């Protein structure tokens, strides 16, 4: 059991952190004995006794002088290295004159953690404020230059290793569905569901350029095949016949995803009203944000998508800043799809700090807007579904990969070969940390002039080979909501055994959980660079409740 001492104003942050690091904990109670006490937010642990005392602070504390911890000057933000892994800190940071080499500052090489062992008791002083870092990640998010780093998950991994390398066993429910290493969530934003509805606007002019001269330039640079060039030229030649209704609309074929995904469910986020650019708190948004279709124009496609196990969600226009608009847009989708609209992703990824509360007021179960327009990776620093701090019920399914971010000039502008190199660490992180990898492939991305369908098929093949559980956005969120329901009713150390009792909601249509038992490691590993290596754990599958005794 972890006893947590924190600033009372950070209570909601602490609670959310321990929903992500699902392990037994409680707020520190005087007179209660704890194996681990975690202090942050200016708490004073002088009278605390525990096998492991963890003190997080990005400034000098009274305890530093008491314990003879030699603190270097404070600074704002730092790039740390956790055994070679980049580990950015966004708030105040201090380093120490002497410390452990497991966490160091880039450049200076100075340690950002000090460890002192006395008998079987360990004191670890970490030079940043954990819960302020979590707050920053979940509210502000990471800048694009750090997008590839799952920083929040590294905070969890580092804390877990501090515990087990102090000789203390640990149980947790990792974000890993039983039977699978991670969740793959396939999503599609429907922005241009019909080329026929575009006449001499910026969208069609961009299409004509990219399908002709743009394609020729890409072929000359070795970034496009001749086959794709001829496909695009043929699509341009066919355009007059499409407008006359004599040829098939090349963009009205987004339901082809059903064949490409071969029974794997996905989520389609659909625009509720055409020709609405939307508004913001500062006034009207750019006219280019308005679409030339709405959900009524694709009504004939929806039954096929639903029968294939797909979900229809809202691609919101104004839902992000006004609850009444969110309810109006949600009703519009539900009326046409004849299914409940559970989730939303905002068009152009519009959001602000108020958005979670506004979307919750509008009745949504989840949002999937947190992500990047211009790169791929972890805006909130995590592979997990989380509860935005202003919300009480709404959950956030972060978006990690968007096709336009990968391939568009002015964004990453990658070739397909280069894009695979960017994707590889995301696959590896999903396998390592679990959680969910959320991919967004737009409606027209499998059609001329983009022709990104083969790359998408490759993504599906890689996710399948890695054993992912494919789910709709609503299913992924439901699994995480089910995990959040789990409560550690009992965790008793009986010497040679650990008695654990967990109670959670039971649902037959979602995978179960794993109860993971991390064996303690030797105390000598904490002060050197072997932390995080050679970890041993045992997984026990369960669904609903488990009452088990695990050998220490």
What is the per-residue pLDDT across 383-400, written as a single tens digit (0 to 9) for each?
Answer: 999 999 999 999 999 999
In this prediction, residue 551 carries a pLDDT of 81
Angle between helices 202-211 and 226-243 (to 10 degrees): 140
Q: What is the mean pLDDT of residues 487-513?
A: 87
For the chain, the first-to-last Cα distance in angstroms comes to 15
Convert the pLDDT of each residue in 155-178 to its tens digit.
999 999 999 989 899 999 999 999
> Cβ neighbours of residue 32 under 8 Å, at least 6 residues apart?
3
DSSP state of 392: S
Question: Burial, 223: exposed, middle or buried (Cβ in 10 Å; 0-12, 13-18, 19+)?
Answer: middle
Q: Helix, strand or coil for residue 72?
A: coil
Q: Over the chain, what is the mean pLDDT?
A: 93
Residue 5 near residue 40 (C-beta atoms within 8 A): yes
Question: Burial, 395: exposed, middle or buried (Cβ in 10 Å; 0-12, 13-18, 19+)?
Answer: buried
Q: What is the mean pLDDT of residues 524-541?
A: 65
382 phi/psi in degrees, rounded to 5: -145, 155
Across 43-57, 364-378, 443-457, least confident range: 43-57
Question: Burial, 201: exposed, middle or buried (Cβ in 10 Å; 0-12, 13-18, 19+)?
Answer: middle
Position 251 confidence tier, pLDDT thresholds 50, 70, 90 = very high
Select from 173, 152, 134 the least CA-distant residue to 383.
152
The total of other beta-carbon atoms located within 10 Å of residue 525's CB is: 19
In this prediction, residue 495 carries a pLDDT of 73
In this prediction, residue 531 carries a pLDDT of 52
In this prediction, residue 66 carries a pLDDT of 86
Residue 183 near residue 177 (C-beta atoms within 8 A): yes
Q: Is the peptide bond before 449 cis (omega within 30 degrees of 0)?
A: yes
DSSP state of 179: T
Query: Distance (Å, rounded) from C-alpha 39 to C-alpha 539?
Result: 29
Question: Burial, 432: exposed, middle or buried (Cβ in 10 Å; 0-12, 13-18, 19+)?
Answer: middle
Alpha helices in 129-201 (DSSP H): 130-139, 151-164
In this prediction, residue 44 carries a pLDDT of 79
Q: What is the CATH number of domain 2-172?
A: 3.40.50.880
In this prediction, residue 521 carries a pLDDT of 78
CA-angle at 126, arms to 124 and 128, nearest 5°: 160
Cα-based distances in Å from 334 to 228, 296, 297, 342: 38, 11, 14, 9
In this prediction, residue 237 carries a pLDDT of 97
Q: What is the mean pLDDT of residues 30-55?
A: 88
Q: Is the pLDDT of residue 284 over 70?
A: yes
Q: Is the pLDDT of residue 43 over 80?
A: no
Joined together, the tokens standing for residue 185 give 């969530």
pTM (whole model) above 0.85: yes
Q: Is the pLDDT of residue 535 over 70?
A: no
| Residue 315, CA atoms < 13 Å, CB-side half-sphere | 28
Q: What is the CA 421 to chain-centroid distance, rounded?
A: 20
Q: Is the pLDDT of residue 123 over 50?
A: yes
Q: What is the mean pLDDT of residues 209-214?
A: 96
Convert the pLDDT of each residue in 361-371 to its tens digit.
999 999 999 99
Cα-based distances in Å from 391 to 81, 353, 361, 424: 32, 10, 9, 33
Query: Distance (Å, rounded) from C-alpha 427 to C-alpha 459?
Result: 10
In this prediction, residue 173 carries a pLDDT of 97
Residue 253 near residue 263 (C-beta atoms within 8 A): no
Select from 466, 459, 403, 397 the least CA-distant residue to 429.
466
Position 529 confidence tier, pLDDT thresholds 50, 70, 90 = very low
In this prediction, residue 117 carries a pLDDT of 87
Position 527 confidence tier, pLDDT thresholds 50, 70, 90 = low
Query: Distance (Å, rounded) from C-alpha 545 to C-alpha 173?
Result: 12
Q: Enumerate the domain spans of the chain.
A: 2-172, 183-194+251-480, 198-243
Query: Distance (Å, rounded) from C-alpha 456 to C-alpha 440?
Result: 10
Q: Helix, strand or coil for residue 451?
A: coil
In this prediction, residue 525 carries a pLDDT of 52
Position 532 confidence tier, pLDDT thresholds 50, 70, 90 = very low
Q: How does strand 183-190 pair with strand 436-440?
A: parallel
Q: What is the mean pLDDT of residues 111-133?
A: 93
Of residues 253 and 43, the one with the higher pLDDT is 253
Q: What is the CATH number of domain 183-194+251-480?
A: 3.20.20.370
Query: Distance (Å, rounded) from C-alpha 6 to C-alpha 496?
Result: 32
Question: Burial, 394: exposed, middle or buried (Cβ in 10 Å; 0-12, 13-18, 19+)?
Answer: buried
Convert the pLDDT of each residue in 27-41 to its tens digit.
999 888 899 999 998
């Amino acid at each position: 059991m972890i006893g947590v001492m924190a600033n009372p104003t950070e209570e909601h942050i602490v609670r959310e952190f321990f929903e992500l690091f699902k392990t037994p904990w409680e707020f520190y109670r005087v007179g209660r004995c704890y194996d681990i006490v975690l202090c942050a937010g200016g708490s004073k642990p002088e009278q605390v006794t525990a096998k492991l005392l963890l003190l997080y602070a990005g400034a000098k504390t009274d305890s530093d002088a008491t314990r003879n911890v030699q603190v270097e000057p404070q600074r704002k933000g730092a790039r740390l290295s956790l055994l070679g892994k980049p580990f950015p800190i966004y708030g105040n940071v201090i380093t120490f004159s002497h410390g452990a080499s497991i966490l160091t500052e880039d450049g200076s090489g100075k340690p950002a953690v000090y460890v002192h062992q006395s008998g079987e008791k360990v004191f670890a002083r970490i030079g940043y404020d954990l819960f302020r870092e979590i707050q920053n990640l979940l509210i502000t998010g990471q800048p694009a230059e750090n997008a590839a780093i799952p920083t929040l998950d590294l905070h969890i991994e580092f804390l877990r290793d501090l515990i087990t390398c102090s000789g203390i066993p640990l149980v947790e429910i990792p974000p890993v569905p039983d039977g699978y290493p991670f969740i793959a969530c396939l999503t599609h934003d429907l922005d241009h569901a019909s080329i026929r509805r575009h006449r001499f606007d910026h969208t069609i002019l961009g299409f004509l350029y990219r399908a002709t001269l743009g394609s020729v330039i890409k072929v000359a640079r070795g970034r496009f095949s001749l086959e794709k060039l001829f496909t695009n030229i043929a699509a341009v030649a066919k355009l007059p016949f499409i407008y006359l209704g004599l040829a098939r609309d090349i963009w009205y074929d987004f339901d082809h995803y059903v064949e490409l995904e071969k029974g794997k469910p996905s989520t389609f986020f659909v625009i509720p009203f055409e020709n609405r650019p939307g508004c913001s708190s500062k006034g009207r948004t750019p006219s280019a944000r308005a679409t030339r279709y709405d959900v009524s124009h694709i009504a004939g496609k929806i039954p096929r998508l639903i029968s294939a196990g797909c979900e229809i969600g809202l691609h919101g226009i104004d839902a992000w800043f006004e609850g009444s608009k969110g309810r109006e847009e949600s009703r519009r989708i539900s009326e046409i799809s004849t299914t409940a609209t559970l989730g939303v992703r905002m068009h152009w990824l519009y959001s602000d700090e108020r958005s979670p509360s506004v979307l919750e007021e509008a009745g949504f179960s989840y949002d999937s807007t947190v992500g990047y327009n211009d790169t791929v990776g972890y805006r909130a620093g995590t592979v997990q579904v989380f509860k935005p701090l202003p919300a009480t019920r709404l959950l956030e399914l972060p978006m990690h990969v968007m096709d336009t971010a990968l391939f568009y000039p002015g964004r990453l502008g990658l070739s397909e070969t280069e894009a695979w190199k960017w994707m590889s660490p995301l696959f590896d992180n999903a396998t390592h940390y679990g959680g969910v990898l959320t991919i967004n492939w737009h409606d027209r991305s499998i059609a001329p002039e983009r022709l990104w369908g083969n790359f998408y098929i490759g993504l599906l093949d890689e996710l399948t080979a890695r054993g992912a559980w494919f789910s709709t956005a609503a299913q992924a969120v439901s699994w995480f909501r089910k995990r959040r329901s789990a409560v550690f009713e009992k965790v008793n150390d009986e010497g040679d055994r650990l008695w654990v009792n967990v109670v959670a909601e039971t649902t037959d249509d979602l995978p179960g959980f794993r109860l993971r038992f991390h064996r303690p490691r030797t105390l000598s590993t904490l002060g050197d660079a072997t932390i995080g290596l050679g970890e041993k754990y045992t997984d026990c599958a369960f669904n609903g409740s488990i009452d088990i005794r695990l050998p220490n």
